[in-house]
């Protein structure tokens, strides 16, 4: 009995070596290869594949994360390796010295670029340009794969309606549809056309799901989201990534309706696996399996592993509960072999799809793609398109290159480190170009540029340098004032109870404004900030986010009119933190503030006489500082003639509008299509973005722009998960932003 068995497994092993050396050509062949490999794996090897370790040079003496662990099949993946050499070294142990020669997969957070940094994702989303975002994803993939990285923990697809949350910087805004469109573009960019290509990297849709709804905008906090809201607002962007072929998902940190998302059978097994048919794998967030103990969902690591494995979190990041407790759980019958096999199958499937079995090593001889001229060109284009012109009184912008004296002032005018933003991966501050560092290249030979930071750091409260800034402003014809939030105030765990300008910036602005010189504000930030005092004192405002490596050139291209702003906001900017949560696609309430735009801007009563008993605050105007979709250009656009055509054979809704460039410069307008269902089984949002187009128009040109909306895009989910597409009256707008335009009405007939 024993000998034939031994011979058989030797034969299988030999076969394994020959079969696995060539890349399976089809999905069916991958499934066969996965099955064969799985049948040879021990329980420990399976749990090893389900374990991801943090790579850091110090922990290499730790037997678990060392080469020994790889050799023994105790680890399937590392995150954060430091170089292609490290990757190759560990990979060699995996594919040449471990029993089954299963390659490792190496991941890192390539969030908005690897070495060439693009704007933070929230900034990128303001471009409303999926093609350019895809191109940036491609650059990031080419750069990071040259360092052995074949997996990024991006795109982040969380919906955030609370600017206090530091991770709003990583989102693609507040809208489910736009986030889905742009997130899918990132997936395409990272994964490329051929996943097996050495410069393709697997994407990861994170953080699944609802993480952005953290109560109070405090990171990692509890979320309570009714099923309808989950399906209509928080899930669609993840669905779009799945449809775009994303290979992995990351379960989140948050407790969702009482069940942590890293142990959530409903969202992971029911929605992701059953309803959507996702066949890649799910990785936990950093120790989010272990954190289920702190949540109070598990008593210990044993219980946490049970929850994670049962829910279908296939790979555990950093904590080791699977590896340490998997065998005992199996013995007890708390998990099943079928479950483990399913998880391992998913992980191996993705490794095969990436071609890691046939091509496990990183070619360190290929010329370095880092910071190439083309990469910097894409970074500059995306930075330019991400910036939003919020104000431009008397057309102060663009500046003339012949302006005699320009004062460049502010703590962020020459702060390279702050151009990077959060999650700057391998991007170096020294490679980021600031406004001041390139400013001289833009002004004429006879122009003078004066520079004064005013504050040593954006958060500084020491006002001793303000006097020098005022002096510079006095000598200037115009002031370019670079203010905002430094990079360390946004990103993970960087939540703020107040989202105004930090440090003594308001004092700096007031002092400079007192000179009476015209001010162009360039505002940097990882979130919508409240900066009403500064805004009131400036003639022009360019919201620049954290723009990345090419910050300075992109900003100066816009300031001097080499480029025309086309960015539009993808989050609602509140006037004050007290308005939060504030988002455009809200419900109407039974007592909405009157539609009269003037009334909506003004508090309607007093505490003694709260006229109207509307859903309002007594102490501030109700409208946001800047609405979703808002952004100006150096030219102007006029919309007219909004019409609906008779539906086509499939019942698609076809709408046309004429857009005219009524100014004197060529420009790009982001036209936005919104709908509203007037009466529904569930109450419906006052507006929902359903489509958008970037329309390039020469000065004086006009064009009829056509939108086609599939009928099902009018549907929504109820609280039992049922999809409803309801007959009745709808409104449709095509407008420059969510607060503008007059709708046309149509009726969706009974199906």
- Catalytic (active-site) positions: 285
Question: Which one, 491 or 736, has the nearer CB to ligand BGC?
Answer: 491
Q: How many angstroms separate the first and last alpha carbons of the chain?
A: 66
Question: Which one, 286 or 716, has the nearer CB to ligand BGC?
Answer: 286
286 binds ligand BGC (CB under 6 A): yes
Shortest distance, position 329 Cβ to ligand BGC, whole Å: 25
494 binds ligand BGC (CB under 6 A): no
- The region that residue 683 occupies, defined by phi over 0 for left and psi between -120 and 50 for alpha, beta otherwise, is beta
Across 198-309, the runs of DSSP E, i.e. the strands, are 204-208, 248-251, 255-256, 259-260, 281-283
Question: Which one, 261 or 633, has the nearer CB to ligand BGC?
Answer: 261
- Say if residues 270 and 302 touch (Cβ distance below 8 Å): no
Residues in binding contact with ligand BGC, number by CB under 6 A: 7
According to CB under 6 A, which residues from 305 to 344 bind ligand BGC?
none
82 binds ligand BGC (CB under 6 A): no
Q: Which of 492, 666, 701, 726 binds ligand BGC (CB under 6 A)?
A: 492
Q: Please, which residues bridge with residue 709 across strands? A: 653
Question: Which one, 114 or 352, has the nearer CB to ligand BGC?
Answer: 114
Closest residue by beta carbon to ligand BGC = 153
Alpha-carbon gap, residue 434 to 411, rounded angstroms:
11
114 binds ligand BGC (CB under 6 A): no
Token readout for 514 is: 């007192």
Binding letters toward ligand BGC, positions 84-113, x by CB under 6 A: -------------------------x----
Shortest distance, position 240 Cβ to ligand BGC, whole Å: 19
User: How is residue 397 annotated by DSSP?
Assistant: P
485 binds ligand BGC (CB under 6 A): no
151 binds ligand BGC (CB under 6 A): no
According to CB under 6 A, which residues from 392 to 421 bind ligand BGC?
none
Shortest distance, position 87 Cβ to ligand BGC, whole Å: 17
From residue 301, give the alpha-carbon distance in Å to each of 237, 284, 326.
32, 14, 10
Question: Which one, 109 or 414, has the nearer CB to ligand BGC?
Answer: 109
Shortest distance, position 525 Cβ to ligand BGC, whole Å: 20
442 binds ligand BGC (CB under 6 A): no
The residues, ordered by sequence, that sit 6+ positions from 116 with a Cβ below 8 Å of its Cβ are 139, 140, 143, 370, 371, 372, 375, 376, 378, 379, 427, 548, 549
Taking the CA atoms of residue 226, residue 229, residue 235 and residue 237 in that order, the dihedral angle to the nearest 10 degrees is -160
Q: Strands 204-208, 105-108: parallel, antiparallel or unpaired by DSSP?
A: unpaired
143 binds ligand BGC (CB under 6 A): no
285 binds ligand BGC (CB under 6 A): yes
Alpha-carbon gap, residue 309 to 265, rounded angstroms:
10
78 binds ligand BGC (CB under 6 A): no
Binding letters toward ligand BGC, positions 171-210, x by CB under 6 A: -----------------------------------x----
Helix (H, G, I), strand (E, B) or coil at 667: strand
Shortest distance, position 79 Cβ to ligand BGC, whole Å: 6
153 binds ligand BGC (CB under 6 A): yes
Question: Which one, 98 or 254, has the nearer CB to ligand BGC?
Answer: 254
Alpha-carbon gap, residue 272 to 209, rounded angstroms:
11
Token readout for 90 is: 């560990």
Q: Strands 716-717, 702-709: parallel, antiparallel or unpaired by DSSP?
A: unpaired
Question: Which one, 488 or 726, has the nearer CB to ligand BGC?
Answer: 488
Alpha-carbon gap, residue 317 to 288, rounded angstroms:
8
Alpha-carbon gap, residue 669 to 104, rounded angstroms:
46
Shortest distance, position 353 Cβ to ligand BGC, whole Å: 21
692 binds ligand BGC (CB under 6 A): no
Shortest distance, position 109 Cβ to ligand BGC, whole Å: 5
Alpha-carbon gap, residue 422 to 301, rounded angstroms:
31
Tell me which residues touch ligand BGC (CB under 6 A).
79, 109, 153, 206, 285-286, 492
């Amino acid at each position: 009995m024993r000998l034939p068995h031994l011979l058989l497994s030797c034969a299988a092993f030999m076969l394994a070596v020959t079969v696995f050396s060539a890349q399976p050509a089809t999905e069916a062949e991958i499934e066969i290869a996965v099955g064969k490999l799985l049948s040879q794996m021990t329980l420990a090897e399976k749990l090893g594949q389900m374990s991801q370790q943090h790579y850091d040079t110090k922990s290499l003496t730790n037997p678990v994360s060392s080469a020994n662990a790889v050799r023994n099949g105790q680890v399937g993946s590392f995150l954060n390796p430091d170089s292609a050499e490290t990757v190759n070294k560990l990979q060699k142990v995996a594919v040449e010295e471990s029993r089954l020669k299963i390659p490792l997969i190496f991941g890192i957070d390539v969030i908005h670029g690897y070495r060439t940094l693009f704007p933070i994702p929230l900034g990128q989303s303001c471009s409303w340009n999926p093609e350019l975002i895809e191109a940036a994803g491609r650059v990031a993939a080419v750069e990071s794969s040259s360092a052995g990285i074949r997996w990024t923990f991006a795109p982040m697809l969380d919906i955030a309606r609370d600017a206090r949350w530091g991770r709003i910087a990583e989102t693609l805004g507040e809208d489910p549809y736009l986030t889905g469109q742009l997130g899918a573009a990132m997936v395409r960019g990272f994964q490329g056309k051929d996943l097996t290509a050495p410069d393709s990297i697997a994407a990861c849709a994170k953080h699944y799901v609802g993480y952005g709804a953290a109560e109070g905008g405090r990171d990692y906090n509890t979320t309570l989201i009714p099923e309808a809201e989950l399906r209509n607002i928080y899930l669609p962007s993840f669905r779009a990534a799945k449809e775009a072929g994303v290979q992995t998902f990351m379960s989140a940190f948050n407790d969702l309706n009482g069940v942590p998302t890293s142990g959530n059978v409903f969202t992971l097994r029911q929605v992701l696996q059953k309803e959507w048919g996702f066949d890649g794998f799910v990785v936990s967030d950093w120790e989010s399996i272990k954190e289920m103990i702190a949540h109070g969902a598990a008593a210990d690591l044993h219980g946490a592993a049970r929850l994670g494995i049962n829910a279908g979190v296939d790979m555990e990041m950093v904590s080791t509960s699977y590896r340490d407790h998997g065998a005992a759980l199996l013995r007890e019958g708390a998990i099943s072999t079928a479950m483990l096999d399913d998880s391992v199958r998913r992980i191996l499937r993705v490794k095969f799809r990436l071609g890691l079995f046939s091509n496990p090593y990183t070619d360190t001889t290929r010329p370095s793609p880092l910071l190439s001229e083309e990469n910097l060109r894409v970074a500059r284009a995306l930075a330019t398109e991400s910036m939003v012109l919020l104000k431009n009184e008397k057309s102060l912008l663009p500046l003339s290159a012949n302006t005699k004296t320009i004062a460049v002032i502010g703590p962020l005018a020459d702060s390279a480190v702050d151009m990077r933003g959060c999650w700057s991966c391998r991007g170096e501050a020294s490679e980021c170009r600031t406004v001041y560092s390139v400013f001289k290249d833009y002004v004429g030979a006879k122009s003078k540029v004066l520079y004064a930071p005013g504050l040593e750091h954006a958060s500084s409260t020491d006002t001793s340098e303000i006097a020098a800034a005022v002096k510079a402003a006095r000598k200037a014809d115009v002031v370019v004032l670079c203010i905002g939030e430094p990079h360390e105030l946004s990103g993970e765990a960087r939540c703020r109870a107040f989202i105004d300008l930090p440090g003594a910036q308001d004092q700096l602005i007031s002092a400079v404004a007192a000179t009476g010189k015209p001010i162009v504000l360039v505002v940097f930030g990882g979130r919508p900030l409240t900066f009403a005092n500064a805004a009131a004192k400036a003639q022009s405002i360019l919201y620049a986010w954290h723009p990345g490596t090419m910050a300075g050139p992109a900003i100066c291209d816009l300031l001097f009119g080499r480029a025309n702003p086309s960015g539009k906001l993808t989050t609602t900017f509140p006037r004050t933190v007290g308005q939060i949560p504030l988002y455009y696609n809200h419900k109407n309430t039974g007592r909405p503030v009157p539609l009269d735009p003037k009334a909506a801007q003004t508090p309607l009563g007093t505490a003694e006489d709260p006229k109207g008993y509307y859903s309002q605050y007594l102490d501030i105007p109700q409208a946001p500082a800047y609405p979703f979709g808002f952004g100006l250009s150096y030219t102007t656009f006029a919309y007219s003639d909004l019409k609906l055509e008779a539906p086509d054979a499939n019942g698609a809704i076809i709408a046309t509008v004429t857009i005219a460039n009524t100014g004197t410069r060529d420009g790009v307008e982001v036209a936005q299509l919104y709908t509203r269902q007037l009466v529904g089984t569930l109450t419906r949002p006052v507006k929902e973005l359903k489509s958008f187009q970037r329309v390039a128009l020469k000065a004086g040109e006009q064009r009829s722009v056509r939108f086609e909306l599939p009928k099902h895009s009018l549907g929504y989910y109820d609280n039992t998960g049922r999809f409803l597409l309801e007959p009745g009256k709808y409104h449709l707008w095509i407008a420059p932003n969510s607060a503008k335009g007059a709708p046309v009405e149509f009726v969706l007939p009974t199906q």
